[in-house]
């Protein structure tokens, strides 16, 4: 019996703090008009000092888990797609796994730039369809505001922060993620890069002074690449799913530039009502952009069971990726108050367990040290 991978839960988080084009134009040489005309962006959400990639990922994941109506301990694997992890290591996915109390789950981060969420969804689908796992939490989360050069008008107007998550579950019922396309062309790696802070240019005064820890982008070349791959990857993935292009009910592209989206939609002959766009309110949130758009499309009533969706991303690497999804999950009603309370209690309990586990680790280390001291033989005379 073939296995299928269905998206059964979804959730999102964006920081409440909004940065409008007008506000940005007061700090850097740009205008609201230029940003809207050239990109379609009107505002973006920016994380406060209390918000970070793991925190936003946890919020989005909790929502997705509630919609899916699964217990965190049912989750087999947590994948966080991000280019702005909480730390170099440990993986952000491990922090999320702990915060959720997903005690049985493995966890890893996946870095494929703005295509990250698509790569992660394809990975989860393969693992489920192959029978390795049954329930996988896939998250795209970014705090891009922390790696932006706020004096570079060519990049600082484009990006925003946020997170989106889905729960993917195995089933014998046909549908769900039916096809995936992954692509890479590393020869274009330098076109979109954060050059500092890795093994090639480790962080030091020189990398910081030359702002090598911030995004460097050749916008025009990335633009040309994007318009090329968005349409071709979408065509390929639809074909792999056995769909003609007119079967697509909703196209959810990576939200980077409305002109790139329009050009892909035109090449695919998709009318505007079949193309989901929300980048005017969020800017480019990289790996979070597609799950954020998916959540908003569901909230707006644009997706119903049986619909054929194509989601496609492109970004640093250079990478591109697409998935064809036959949607199968009805939008659930609000969680009943007792269930919501149980869920809050469960997260509180996993928070307490995590603190106790950390404390016990310290006690264990201290006791082991004491035993070492007592067992140490006196030095020979």
Binding site for ligand UT7 (CB under 6 A): 30, 34-35, 38-39, 114, 153-154, 157, 192, 217, 219-220, 222-223, 226, 256-257, 284, 315
Q: How far is the CB of 159 from ligand UT7 (least distance, A)?
A: 8
Phi-psi region of 320 (alpha: psi -120 to 50; beta: other; left: phi over 0): beta
Rounded CA separation 286/315 (Å) = 8
- Of the two residues 165 and 261, which places its CB atom closer to ligand UT7 in the complex? 261
CA neighbor of 166 nearest in space, from 290, 257, 269? 290
Q: How far is the CB of 235 from ligand UT7 (least distance, A)?
A: 20
The residue whose two tokens read 């496609």 is: 312
Q: How far is the CB of 99 from ligand UT7 (least distance, A)?
A: 28
- Which of 6, 21, 156, 284 is flagged as catalytic? 284
Exposure string for 108-120, b = 16+ CB within 10 A, e = fewer: ebbbbbbbbbbbb
Q: How far is the CB of 286 from ligand UT7 (least distance, A)?
A: 6
Whether 21 is a known active-site residue: answer no
- Which of 45, 59, 254, 308 is flagged as catalytic? 254
What sign does the dihedral 286-190-186-275 (CA atoms) show?
positive
Whether 284 is a known active-site residue: answer yes
- Of the two residues 154 and 335, which places its CB atom closer to ligand UT7 in the complex? 154
Full DSSP string of 152-220: -HHHHTTB-EEEEEEEEEEESSS-EEEEEEEEE-GGGGGGEE--SSSSSS-SSHHHHHTTTTS-EE-HH
Q: How far is the CB of 31 from ligand UT7 (least distance, A)?
A: 6
Residues 6+ apart with CB under 8 A from 263: 227, 230, 231
- Of the two residues 34 and 347, which places its CB atom closer to ligand UT7 in the complex? 34
Whether 323 is a known active-site residue: answer no
Exposure string for 146-170, b = 16+ CB within 10 A, e = fewer: ebbeeeebebbbbbbbbbbbbbbbb
> 229 — phi, psi (to 5°)?
-80, -30
- Of the two residues 114 and 238, which places its CB atom closer to ligand UT7 in the complex? 114
Active site residues: 114, 254, 284
């Amino acid at each position: 019996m073939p296995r299928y991978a269905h998206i059964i839960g979804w959730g999102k988080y964006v920081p409440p703090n909004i940065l409008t084009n007008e506000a940005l134009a007061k700090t850097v040489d740009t205008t609201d008009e230029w940003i809207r005309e050239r990109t379609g962006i009107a505002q973006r959400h920016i994380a406060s000092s209390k918000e970070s990639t793991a925190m936003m990922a946890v919020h989005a994941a909790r929502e997705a888990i509630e919609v899916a109506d699964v217990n965190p301990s049912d989750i087999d694997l947590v994948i966080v797609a991000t280019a702005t992890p909480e730390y170099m290591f440990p993986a952000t996915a491990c922090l999320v796994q702990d915060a959720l109390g997903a005690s049985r789950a493995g966890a890893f981060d996946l870095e494929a730039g703005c295509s990250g969420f698509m790569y992660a969804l394809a990975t989860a689908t393969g693992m489920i369809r192959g029978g390795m796992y049954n329930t996988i939490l896939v998250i795209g989360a970014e705090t891009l505001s922390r790696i932006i050069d706020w004096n570079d008008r060519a990049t600082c107007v484009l990006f925003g922060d946020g997170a989106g998550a889905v729960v993917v579950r195995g089933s014998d019922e046909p549908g769900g993620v039916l096809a995936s396309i992954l692509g890479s062309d590393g020869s274009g790696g330098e076109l979109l890069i954060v050059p500092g802070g890795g093994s090639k240019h480790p962080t030091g005064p020189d990398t910081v002074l030359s702002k090598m820890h911030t995004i460097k982008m050749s916008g025009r070349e990335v633009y040309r690449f994007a318009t090329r791959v968005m349409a071709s990857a979408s065509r390929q993935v639809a074909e792999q799913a056995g769909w003609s292009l007119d079967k697509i009910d909703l196209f959810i592209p990576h939200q980077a530039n409305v002109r790139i989206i329009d050009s892909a939609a035109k090449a695919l002959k998709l009318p505007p009502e079949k193309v989901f766009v929300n980048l005017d309110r969020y800017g480019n949130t990289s790996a979070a952009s597609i799950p954020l758009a998916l959540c908003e499309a569901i909230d707006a009533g644009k997706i119903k069971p049986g619909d054929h969706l194509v989601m496609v991303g492109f970004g640093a690497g250079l990478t591109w990726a697409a998935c064809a999804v036959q949607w199968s999950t009805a939008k659930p009603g609000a969680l009943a108050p007792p269930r919501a309370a149980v869920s809050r209690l469960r997260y509180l309990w996993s928070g307490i367990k995590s603190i106790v586990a950390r404390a016990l680790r310290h006690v264990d280390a201290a006791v082991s040290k004491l035993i070492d001291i007592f067992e140490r033989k006196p030095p020979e005379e």
